Amino acid sequence: MKAFNTTGVCRPEVHYMVNTDATLLEIKTMIDDNEYITINRPRQFGKSTTLTLLERLLEPQYAYIMLSLEDLVASEFTEEGFCFAVSQMLAENDWQDSSGISEEAKRVFISTYDELKKGFPLRALTTALQKMSQVNQKRIVLAIDEIDNVWDCDAFYGFLSFLRRDYRRVPNNAFQSVILAGVSDISHLQNRIRRVDQSGERRIPWNIAVSFAQNMGLTNAGILEMLNEYKTDHGLKFDAVKISGLLSEYTSGYPFFVSKLCSIIHSKLPGTEEFVDLEAAWTQEGFLAALHILKTDDALPLFQSLLRQIEGSKELKDLLKKILYGDETVRYYAGSPAEEAKIYGFVKTADDGITLRISNRIYETWLYTNLRAYPQIP
Instruction: Tell me the pLDDT tens digit for each residue of 117-126.
Output: 887 899 899 9
Judging by DSSP bridges, how do beta strands 175-182 and 36-40 pair with one another? parallel
DSSP structure class, residue 350: -
Give the whole-number percent of the chain exceeding pLDDT 70.
90
Nearest residue to 289 via CA among 264, 267, 252? 264
pTM, to two decimals:
0.90
Instruction: Tell me the pLDDT tens digit for each residue of 125-137.
Output: 999 999 999 999 9
Nearest residue to 52 via CA among 105, 83, 98? 98
For 56, phi then psi, to 5°, come to -65, -40
| pLDDT (average), residues 43-63 | 94
Query: What's the pLDDT at 72?
Result: 87
Q: Is the pLDDT of residue 196 over 50?
A: no
Burial class (CB within 10 angstroms; exposed 0-12, middle 13-18, buried 19+) of 207: exposed
Contact 259, 290 (CB under 8 A): no
Query: What's the pLDDT at 252?
Result: 97
| pLDDT (average), residues 75-89 | 88
CA distance 82 to 75: 9
The region of weakest confidence among 3-17, 19-33, 159-173, 221-235 is: 159-173
Query: Residue 297's CB: how many other CB atoms inside 10 A?
Result: 15
Q: Is the pLDDT of residue 285 over 50?
A: yes
The region of weakest confidence among 250-259, 268-277, 343-352 is: 343-352
